[in-house]
Each structure stands twice: as C-alpha cells, then as structure tokens.
Amino acid sequence: MKIGVPKEIKNHEYRVGLTPMAVVELIHNGHQVAVETLAGDAIGFSDQQYIDAGADILGTASAVFDWADMIVKVKEPQAVERAMLKPSHTLFTYLHLAPDVPQTQDLINSQAVCIAYETVTDRNGHLPLLAPMSEVAGRMSIQAGAHSLEKAQGGRGLLLGGVPGVEPAKVVVIGAGVVGQNAVAMAVGTGADVVVLDKNTDVLRQMDKQYGNRIKTVYSTKEALDRHVIEADLVVGAVLIPGAAAPKLVTREMIGRMKKGAVLVDVAIDQGGCFETSKATTHAEPTYVVDDVVHYCVANMPGAVARTSTIALNNATLPFVLALANKGAKQAMLDDAHLLNGLNVCRGKVTYKSVADDQGLPYVSPADALELI
C-alpha cells in the first residue's frame, strides 16, 4: 500500500503522523511511504532520517495526497487538505467531528474512508489511540494552569504548592478518566490542594487508595460541582463522551462567581469544551478572560511537546496502520471490531452515531457502510 504523511498545518502543530522508526516497520512489511518535506523537521526527524528509513520525500502536500492510498496524520484535516481527499483514500487521524460541522460535510463530500483515532476501542472498552494524548494533555493541563495562574499571565499570582507558611492553591479536576488521572498525578506532585470529581465510584475508590489523604475524591453532583468550582484557583475540565460533544458542566453563572484571576483549563475543547464560556484557542494565543477568569482552551495541547507526543502516539497507532496497510481498510475492519469502531465517515455516510445525532445527520452502521467499500 502507498502510505502518505503530509506536514501538519494547524497553528503551532509540529507533530507528524509517522516517525522514521514507524516507516521502517511499514517498509519491512512491503509497503511504500511518502513523507512531505520537512514534515518532522521541527521535532528532530529530518528528511534524511525518513530517506534512511526507506521513505520517499515529496515537495508538497498535494503531491502526497495525489500519490497515496492511505493518509496518516495527527490533527483533523484542515479545509485545504479536505479538498485534496479522494474516494480512493483511507484517512487515519484524529477527527473530533461532533462539534465540527464543516469538516463532517467535507468528509462526506470526499467519499473517502475516514477512521478517527479517538473512537477506536480496545477489548476493555477503552480508547487506546486517545490515551497517549490524553496522558500528555492531562499532565500539561497542570503546567499550563500553573503558568496561567502567574500574575503576569492574568492569574491570581499563586504558586500551586505554596511555600512553608503559605497555603497551596486549590486544584479541582472534573473527570477521573485518563486526562483527569494524569492531571491529578501532576497536581499532587506540585503539592497543591487537589479535589477530583467523577460519577464513577470505583474509579474514585481506586484513586483514594492510590493517593490517600493527599487528594479529596468527590462524587460529582450539581451541588458538589458548583461548590468546588467556586472555591477553586485552578479547574481542569477533563470530561469525555467518546465521539460526542462534551457536556457543558460549568455554566457562565458559576464562572461569574469564581475568584478573580482563577484559571480554567478545558482539555475537552477538541470536543467542544465542558465550560459554557469555552472557545478554542491556539498555542500562539492560548488564553482569554471572561468574568475575570482566565481560560486556557488550546485545541491541540500535546502539540506543545510535539516530539514526546509523536513518539507516544506512534507507539499506539502503528499496529493499526500496519493492519490497514497489510489487509486493506475493509478487511482490516472486518477482522477487528475495535478498529471498525473508529470508522466515522465512509463513502459519504456518517458511521458514528454520536456525530450523526449531534449534527442531525442520517446514520449508517459501520458494518453496513463497509459494504460500500
């Protein structure tokens, strides 16, 4: 199979779909790989390293799209990239379609087979291709929040862990999934006063056992959420409904009662955000202020640590890329129901129910859509 890797073009996105090490595996399995020039250069993967791995280097994204059978990316294709998609393409990348109507419509119009990293599952019902970036984003949320709390950034002027004689900042983490657990781990490491809210008592019990009295675990109710958000110095939104728009758990009214200079970090922004006042920002301008509360809503947080993120992502995606290349998209998904769960758009049909429901579009089951390939 011909596998193409274009250079990412989203604002301050330096990750790359395949590392040179992943290219070696694909070449070893008898496939061809073409990489757009300088695709990995910003994070230390030079064109020469890709050539040494066996890839061809092409000068433009359009050359990569014209040549390839499968496109492997990191972020959702931008409008100019979507215009290059063809019915013969299999697209394998993050899509986050639920809040993105223009992208959904363009993918429908392309007639391509579009598989989303974030909805591929495993035997335990987890999301193995979202997990590495969730780990990165969870850990980064505390770094970003701590920086945003500095007075020069508009924050309250607090050090998360305080110092002897000065109480630490209160960090509230909403959601105890992969993002939330990694945020808690980092926040505990700083010495902050940490509260985590979730509705899964088994997960809360597990975290209580892990951290003991270093954190407070709270069953998430409207009253508990309201009380802890109002008291917080830093709130991390870490909720996820796979493939669907994130619920708006923190309202504008609640934010209006928060402390002046408090910080919100919305890790769910790729799925529309879990704060009512959230809007996507970039690494170039990561924050804005609403009601004297600093909002950090960068839509590709792991892009800030792009080399770490790229390697972690490739560790997870490579087995699926190999399966798609070795068997072809249709057979690979027929053989693996978990990969089939990643199918979001196929031959002009929306095949992920949450996306169809959120956008009021007709839904076709992934199994039925495979018959169109």
At 113-123, the pLDDT tens digits run 999 999 999 99
pLDDT of the residue at 362:
97
253-287 in b/e burial notation, b at 16+ Cβ within 10 A? Answer: ebbeebeebbbbbbbbbbbbbbbebbeebebeebb
At 133-176, the pLDDT tens digits run 999 999 999 999 999 999 999 999 999 999 999 999 999 999 99
Instruction: Show Cβ contacts of residue 320 under 8 Å, excluding neighbours closer than 6 positions.
Output: 92, 120, 129, 332, 339, 342
Instruction: Show Cβ contacts of residue 219 under 8 Å, excluding neighbours closer than 6 positions.
Output: 197, 198, 199, 201, 204
Q: From CA 363, how far away is CA 341, in angstroms rounded? A: 14
Is residue 194 pLDDT above 90, yes or no? Answer: yes
At 1-29, the pLDDT tens digits run 999 999 999 888 999 999 999 999 999 99
**Mean pLDDT of the chain, nearest integer:** 96
What are the residue numbers of the active site?
A: 96, 270
Stretch (H or E) spanning 190: helix 178-190
Mean pLDDT value across residues 210-220: 97
In this prediction, residue 262 has a pLDDT band, given cuts at 50, 70 and 90, of: very high
pLDDT of the residue at 241:
81
At 221-236, the pLDDT tens digits run 999 999 999 999 999 9
